[in-house]
Amino acid sequence: MRDKPSLTPPPPTTCCTFVRRIPDGDTMERDVCAVCGNIHYVNPKIVVGSVCSWDGRILLCRRAIEPRRGFWTIPAGYLEEHETPVDGARREAREEACTEIEIDALLAVYAVPRISQVQLIYRATLANGEFAPGVESLETELVAWDDIPWTELAFPSVHWALNHHRAVAGQPHFAPFANP
């Protein structure tokens, strides 16, 4: 009888010479340690963020980092380990816009398989109207709908989120959106 492979990676000094194969009981080829049988799973990254509004305007952040440095986005980024999606979205708003937010609903779940991402985007309001550029932002701004710099938005999902946010403006309940 064969031992089950460990899901916890061994210490870096013990082994792990990976080979590509389909592990027993699996259907996909993966990196498996030829010595200990440890399976190295590579899974999609989860992005969390929010469309934050205040007084009828939307908070945008001009990116200070790659990819798409200098383009506008909503506060969003990768979910950290041991963090809930809502806590991650709040943290991203603090990091990128030095603001506290109040999340009221899941706005959308976007799948971006070409870059292995799942994006959870929330609808939120600024807690007190205060914001400033964080370390990952060149500038932050509250913009009216007609002033959104559509041609300068960093990613397609920012377009989707802004349009989905507008589609449910004033609605207390709605089903989360998906990719258009």
pTM: 0.86
Structural contact between residues 76 and 137, judged by C-beta atoms closer than 8 angstroms: no
Distance CA 93, CA 151 (A): 23
Domains of the chain: 1-42 (2.20.70), 45-167 (3.90.79.10)
Nearest partner of 105 among 119, 87, 124, 77, judged by Cα: 124
Tens of pLDDT along the chain (180 residues)?
Answer: 444 555 555 555 467 789 999 999 999 999 999 888 899 888 999 999 999 999 999 999 999 999 999 999 999 999 999 999 999 999 999 999 999 999 999 999 999 999 999 999 999 999 999 999 999 999 999 999 999 999 999 999 999 999 999 999 999 999 999 999
